[in-house]
Amino acid sequence: MAKRDYYEVLGLEKSASADDIKKAYRKFALKYHPDKNPGDKAAEEKFKELGEAYEALSDSQKKAAYDQYGHAAFDPRMRAGGGGKSGGFHDPFDIFREVFSGGGGGSGSIFDDLFGGGQRDPSGPQRGSDLRYDIEITFQEAVLGCEKEISLTKMDACETCRGTGAESGSKTKVCGTCGGRGQVVSSRGIFSIAQPCPQCAGAGKVIERPCKTCRGGGRKERTSRIKIKIPAGVDTGSRLRSAGNGEAGGRGGPAGDLYVVLHVKADDLFVRDGDDLVCEVPVRFVDAALGGEIEVPTLTGTSQIRIPAGTQTGTVFRLKGKGVKNVQGYGYGDLHVRVSVEVPTSLNNAQKAKLQEFAEICDSTVNPISKGFFEKAKGFFR
């Protein structure tokens, strides 16, 4: 029976790269491996055919010869003399092991990484888990800084055995289930699967007399009160790290960290824009018209600002350095005071009369904004 084209065997085009050839071989070799298809002669033949195709196409010189002469490139009858390389093929099982070991056969092979042989020894100290705690603070606490105490239930080192998991004077011994390896291996077809030992949880050792308080775990759930210093200038989403206040580690390992995530309540007076603050301040109609001084709130008290005559709603006055302290220490932001001119309401008859008198003696020059607006409006409707 005529041999099938090697590219057809691997399901590839002639332009396939070396990486494509290796991936295709790995895919089909797993599918047709005899251990996975016991007694199936057709699968065994396919497996051998795959090995032959892979050996020819994975070698750049053999591939070049095959691309030029086809199967004749490896026919001894077509070669001149006896000085060339042998055109025969290796055992397909050797090729399979070579591909799945990355060519080196060492402990760091692809095959080991996939099926458990390359796992690290888990018997050493284990770092504890990091924890997250969300807390809500006021606007003033965020911009001025404060100290908070939080209550947190977490796994801490057992006070009785000090995290060892053993009673006083108790020793450890090699786990009888896994022989100290920390893993048990089970075979499934062509695969060998390594899993943590159920007896020692991967430690490779067991305690002769486990601590009665923590039952050998070395940790016990406990509620702790932790003080957190919140620096000035934080904002919603700021995350503070409290080193060593996460969960306790295993087998004497270090504790994890606690990350406190801040949520800042809205304020009635100030709106924050980065390190700057915006505050809208009402101004009396008379003060806006005639000018004068007004008192405005700041984070540390009050300040006086001068309002020039004719100030309009929306005018912004900047108070340099009266904003929020930069949390990284780069100075302070500014306070922007936005004026809102307050129109008098609930006037009595005398007040109305005075305003009417004022209106009668005013001409368009005292309301230049209104005059300009209506002139534009007239032009729009022409």
pLDDT in tens, 292-312: 999 999 999 999 999 999 999
State the DSSP H helix or E strand holding residue 224, giving kind and residue range, or none if neither: strand 219-230
- pLDDT value of residue 381: 60
| Percent of the chain's residues with pLDDT above 70 | 84
- pLDDT value of residue 100: 61
- Statement: residue 106 has pLDDT above 50: no
- pLDDT value of residue 101: 55
Residues 6+ apart with CB under 8 A from 297: 269, 279
3-state DSSP assignment of residue 14: coil
Residue ranges of domains in the chain, CATH in brackets:
6-79+87-115 (1.10.287.110), 128-165+214-265 (2.60.260.20), 270-343 (2.60.260.20), 348-382 (no CATH)
Stretch 132-138: mean pLDDT, rounded?
96
Query: Of 251, 240, 46, which Cα lies nearest the Cα of 135?
Result: 240
